[in-house]
Amino acid sequence: MNVDVVVVGGGIAGAACAYFLAQRGSVALLEGEDAFGYHATGRSAALFSEYFGSRPVRLLTAASRAFFEAPPGGFADAPLLSPRGVVALATESDVQTGRFDAALAAGRDARIAAFEITLDDARAMCPILAPHGYARALARPAVADIDVDALHQGFLRGVRARGGSTMRGEAVTAIRREAGVWHVVTAGGHAFATGRLVNAAGAWADDVAALAGAAPIGLMPKRRTAVLVDAAGDAHWRAALPTWPMVTNVADTFYFKPESGKLMVSPSDETPAPPCDAQPEELDVAIAVARLEAVTTLRVARVTHKWAGLRSVVADELPVLGEAPDAPGFFWAAALGGFGIQTAPAVGRAVAALVAGGALPDDVDETALSPAHVTKYASHDDDQGGI
């Protein structure tokens, strides 16, 4: 089958890229699993925050806000965002080392700036917080929950509505380039010929590059654990639970937030792992529970669900978007770390522009996100003797 673009990977990044590419030509979106978004997309904290990540990531997030707030007609049946907010706590050590001031400063360029609140304010917003252990707190008011399934399905429906194909259970098994054309073969025996190939395969993106003969970008998948817990508490706070903010700390060693009448908790672990169907380790589950109990007055009655996902990064922890310097027509949409969902609209729009031969939009940092930054960072490490 001849198509203008093949997109490998049916998670949120691949779906977003295919959605915007389908405005410009024919697209085939290939997913190796039997369900779209089975790995990272389906296991995220589902948060939209212009306060998190490096400046290029925050710019991608800010550039995605308009889409989230006003998606195209018929894209979703309900709003994609709902208010949540974040309270971030700081210990005396965080204050003395400047970590608190740095977190506050990083949040000042958001659409609604982060600001300091008192510890009493924090407890008024989340009454289960313990009255000890922390010295200062800040609020990130514009953080919102994302309806990830609605976003993902909206992209997939949009691809099909624009004449593109979305195929599950079609792992790519072979890629070759011949006379300027990429030939892609899947496990199901389907074959595609295309001038442009987008690699949005998440933790497997370096494997896809190897099939294509492109140099890897040094992806490092990292496992993150989350649990859903029932906690002993009175009827009053249970009634107020849906209105609570997400609570974290400026050292990024835990977070918890309301989820389906319970609390979702993570120890913010980042354990290196191979590309795989990530599963939670019991130690990480125990750490999540312990950190929740240490910062609140709660005692966990039971863990009702537990899961893990992979956050894939490169050495400088910046996304990699654009054409591979050593493989004409091969485009990266990878290394999105834990920010893939909240940046998906801007990532999809940017990659579609690059595939069409244009430049990244003005609200996206082209220099920081180009695949060239991987090479530059590797060269810098070599100069320093490596790690």
Boundaries of every domain in the chain: 2-60+148-219+314-383, 86-142+220-313
Residue scoring higher pLDDT (379 or 124): 124
What burial class does residue 325 get, using C-beta atoms within 10 Å of its C-beta: 0-12 exposed, 13-18 middle, 19+ buried? middle
Take residue 291 and report the two structure tokens written for it.
């950190």
Q: Tell me the pLDDT tens digit for each residue of 327-384.
A: 999 999 999 999 999 999 999 999 999 999 987 777 787 777 889 888 665 543 433 3
- Closest to 364 in 3D by CA, of 312, 317, 318: 318
Model's pTM, two decimal places?
A: 0.93
CATH numeric code, 2-60+148-219+314-383? 3.50.50.60
Burial of 303 (0-12, 13-18, 19+ CB in 10 A): middle
pLDDT of residue 386: 27
Closest CA to 174 of 19, 5, 6: 6
Span of 42-46, 67-71, 75-79, 85-89 with lowest mean pLDDT: 42-46
- For 226, the enclosing helix (H) or strand (E) is strand 220-232
Q: Which residues pair with 47 in a beta bridge?
A: 145
Q: Give the model's confidence band at 80: pLDDT under 50 very low, under 70 low, under 90 confident, else very high.
A: very high
Q: Do domains 2-60+148-219+314-383 and 86-142+220-313 have the same CATH topology?
A: no
User: Residue 197's pLDDT is what?
Assistant: 98
pLDDT at residue 163 greater than cutoff 50? yes
Name the region of 317 (left: φ>0; alpha: ψ -120 to 50; beta: rest): left
Is 339 within 8 Å of 311 (Cβ atoms)?
A: no
Do 320 and 334 meet the contact criterion of CB atoms below 8 Å apart? yes
Residues near 42 by beta carbon (within 8 Å), at least 6 away in sequence: 35, 148, 309
User: What is the tens place of the pLDDT at every residue in 318-327?
Assistant: 999 999 999 9
pLDDT in the model for residue 45: 83
Tokens 């609200």 -> residue: 363
**Taking a C-beta distance cutoff of 8 angstroms, is the pair 161, 101 a contact?**
no
pLDDT at 208 over 80: yes
Number of H helices, E strands in the chain: 12, 20
Return the CATH architecture of domain 86-142+220-313: 2-Layer Sandwich (3.30)
Share of the chain above pLDDT 70, in %: 95
